[in-house]
Amino acid sequence: MTSATAAGTTSTEVRRRRTTRSPAYRAEQRRLAQFEEIARLVIKHRAARGLTQQELAERVGTSHSAISRIESGRHKTSVDTLQRIAEALSVRLVLGFESGPTDHPHRELVSA
């Protein structure tokens, strides 16, 4: 969803300009990318099961605010918490390492 700023510029355009101008902003975007991917997956699986953040939090044994922070895509979380979320959503958490070229990586995965 793209929203317009007070000056009439969309938030997407503002982000694009910041990315172009600021190495620090680009680094922060790269750092957050992995958390955003996790957030999208948690939201997808939670929504597919018709659960609210509060209901998921209860199943995981954590607070609503903890689930909200994870789903914001701006905070890291522990493997233990991700495992508990996976169990609460009836999915498997898969972890691994990747090496080699990005276009043909070698992946070693383990289901947690």
Structural domain of 73? 11-111
Whether residue 2 is predicted with pLDDT greater than 50 in this model: the reply is: no
Residue 99 DSSP label: E
pTM higher than 0.75? no
- Which helix (DSSP H) or strand (DSSP E) does residue 61 occupy? none
Per-residue pLDDT, averaged over 58-76, amounts to 95
Of the candidates 77, 54, 56, 73, which has an alpha carbon nearest to the alpha carbon of residue 64? 54
List of residues 6+ apart from 52 with CB closer than 8 A: none
**Does residue 29 lie in a domain region?**
yes
d(Cα 33, Cα 42) in Å, to the nearest integer?
Answer: 14
Q: 């903890």: which residue's tokens?
A: 66
**Does residue 2 lie in a domain region?**
no
**Does residue 101 lie in a domain region?**
yes
Output the pLDDT for position 23.
81
**Does residue 89 lie in a domain region?**
yes
Task: Give the tens place of pLDDT for each residue, 5-53.
Answer: 556 677 777 767 766 778 887 777 777 778 899 999 999 999 999 999 9
CATH for 101: 1.10.260.40
Count of structural domains within the chain: 1
